[in-house]
Structure 1
Amino acid sequence: MKTSRPVAGTLAVAGYIIMIVPILFVVATAFSAGSTLKFPPDGLSLRWFGEALSYDPFLESLVTSLQLAVASTAIALLLGVPATIAIHRGRLPGKNIVESLFLSPLIVPELVVGLALFQQLVITYNLENASVLLIGHTALLLPYAVRVTGASLANADPSLEEAARGLGASPLRTFVTVTLPILRPGLFSAALLGFVTSFNNVPLSLLLQSRDARTLPVTMLDYVQQSYDPMVAATSTLILGATVVIAIIAERTLGFAKIFGGINR
């Protein structure tokens, strides 16, 4: 079958190759039987997967990353959903300015955001614990909560909520029975994007980390600087496998079309 856009098709194929081929190299290296990180691997072995699963710094930072991603995503949604409703349904003066402020972390480089938070929280207020990292990740995820849930709300018919209130439903009942189901695709989308963004973040975590709060990507970066064995490749492969499993479960239970319906409409 011939395509009517050969240039676009060629660029798409090139993009897939650029993204996928390096991942395949990492996966292949993870099964190496050798002691150095190189391709092609020296034989095949599951040795480094066992090393990765028993390496305490990786396990401790994994727990920290999971807790941080869940907490920051939840807080971002708790703050972002009311802001979204106020922007799209309320009579908020200067709506465009308020929305731009919430979206600003997407425009400003993460290093700049991290440096600003480091200056204010660590240097000025002398905070050196996990709360600094939580505040930073929450600020980073707020734009996803506002923008993605806002896409679902903007595409919905406001007359549905007006009809519920006209029939005597209280604002809380209207939100639970009408607004929340409308927001469901955006909530799932924002939660997935927020969790992945927080879990994989390096620049912000690198600046705001503390002794009792080190994320897995930062720990892996430190390990690569000191060692050159395939354990990091094995860890990356395990994370990739877990991501694929989550994606399959999400597709089978809800479907990506429903999850991301608030954006694609």
Structure 2
Amino acid sequence: MRTRHPIAASLAVLGYVVMLVPILFVVITAFTAGSTLRFPPEGFSLRWFEAALTYTPFTSSLVSSLILAVISAALALALGVPVALAIHRGKLPGKALVEGLFLSPLIVPELVVGLALYQQLMVGFGLDNFQTLLFGHTVLMFPYAVRVTGASLALIDPAVEDAARGLGASAGRTFFSITLPLLRPGLFSAALLSFITSFNNVPLSLLLQSRDFRTLPVVMLDYVQQNYDPIVAAISVVILAATVLVAVVAERTVGFAKVFGGINR
């Protein structure tokens, strides 16, 4: 059957090609047996994966990135869920304006946010790099938590919560017994999205880095500027494979399509 919108279909195919072909080049180059980044690769070898997984700056910065991403995602959820509940279940005047205000960190360039955090928190209040980075990543992840949990709330029939309160349940018991279990897919989706976004962040982490605390993307960027071997391609493939694996498992267990479908409601 012919599509009714051939131009749109062609643009969609072109978009997929533009996104996937560079990734394909990186994946193929990571398995090269040569000593430089070349395409096509010179033979087949796994030695660059071994080199990437045993390179100390990569492994130490990986731990730093994981710690930062986990804590910032947890804080974003802890702050975002009450805001989403207030917007979608409360009686706030101007809900659209309030929601737009909480989503505003997505609009401001991250370098501007990083510079403001550096001047106010590090210079003004004397916070160290990790504390400032944690605050900045939490601010950047906060809109994702509000938006995704709000989308999940849009899929929950308020009549279920009204029925629980009508049967005598308090507001707190209704939340923990009814709303929270139904909200679980949105919570997992928001946590995963926040974690991945924080883990892959470069501009903010690059501006607020220190010698004692550096994230993996920043270390990879510094390595590329000084070296031209395929070790960065290898570690990129490892991160890509881990991200795809987590996304597939989460889709099978939670269901991203159902949760993100509520964003447009």
Q: Could you say which TM-score interval applies, normalised by the shorter chain?
A: over 0.9
Of all paired residues, the percent bearing the same amino acid is: 72
| Equivalent residue, structure 1, for 2:206 | 206
Task: Tell me which amino acid in the other structure corresponds to 2:134.
Answer: L
192-201 or 244-253, which moves further after superposition? 244-253
How far the C-alpha of 1:9 sits from its partner, in A, is 0.8
TM-score, normalising length: structure 2: 0.94
Per-residue displacement from partner, 1:92-114 (whole Å, max 9, x unpaired)?
A: 35544432221110111111111
- Are 1:8 and 2:14 an aligned pair? no
Where structure 2 has 5 or more consecutive residues not aligned to the other structure, the ranges are none
- Are 1:27 and 2:27 an aligned pair? yes
Per-residue displacement from partner, 1:108-152 (whole Å, max 9, x unpaired)?
A: 111111111112111212222311111110000000111111122
Once residues 6 and 90 of structure 1 are traced to their aligned partners in structure 2, the CA distance between those partners, rounded to angstroms, is 44
| Equivalent residue, structure 2, for 1:166 | 166
How far the C-alpha of 1:165 sits from its partner, in A, is 1.2
Once residues 254 and 96 of structure 1 are traced to their aligned partners in structure 2, the CA distance between those partners, rounded to angstroms, is 28
| Equivalent residue, structure 1, for 2:125 | 125
How far the C-alpha of 1:259 sits from its partner, in A, is 4.7
Once residues 184 and 264 of structure 1 are traced to their aligned partners in structure 2, the CA distance between those partners, rounded to angstroms, is 19
Where structure 1 has 5 or more consecutive residues not aligned to the other structure, the ranges are none
Task: Tell me which amino acid in the other structure corresponds to 2:219.
Answer: T
Once residues 66 and 201 of structure 2 are traced to their aligned partners in structure 1, the CA distance between those partners, rounded to angstroms, is 12
Once residues 264 and 91 of structure 2 are traced to their aligned partners in structure 1, the CA distance between those partners, rounded to angstroms, is 27
- Are 1:110 and 2:104 an aligned pair? no
Map 1:135-174 to 2 at 5 A.
135-174=135-174
Once residues 127 and 37 of structure 2 are traced to their aligned partners in structure 1, the CA distance between those partners, rounded to angstroms, is 38
| Equivalent residue, structure 1, for 2:58 | 58
How far the C-alpha of 1:256 sits from its partner, in A, is 3.4
- Asked whether the 8 Å contact 2:151–2:261 carries over to 1, the reply is no
Question: Across the two proteins, how many residue pairs are aligned to each other?
Answer: 265
Per-residue displacement from partner, 1:62-116 (whole Å, max 9, x unpaired)?
A: 1111111111111100001011112222233554443222111011111111111
Q: Report SS of the residue matched to 1:260.
A: helix
54-63 or 203-212, which moves further after superposition? 203-212
Runs of 4+ in 1 over 6 A off after TM superposition: none
How far the C-alpha of 1:263 sits from its partner, in A, is 3.1
- Asked whether the 8 Å contact 1:186–1:262 carries over to 2, the reply is no
Once residues 94 and 205 of structure 1 are traced to their aligned partners in structure 2, the CA distance between those partners, rounded to angstroms, is 34
How far the C-alpha of 1:264 sits from its partner, in A, is 6.1
Once residues 175 and 213 of structure 1 are traced to their aligned partners in structure 2, the CA distance between those partners, rounded to angstroms, is 39
Once residues 139 and 178 of structure 2 are traced to their aligned partners in structure 1, the CA distance between those partners, rounded to angstroms, is 28
How far the C-alpha of 1:188 sits from its partner, in A, is 2.1
Task: Tell me which amino acid in the other structure corresponds to 1:56.
Answer: T
| Equivalent residue, structure 1, for 2:225 | 225
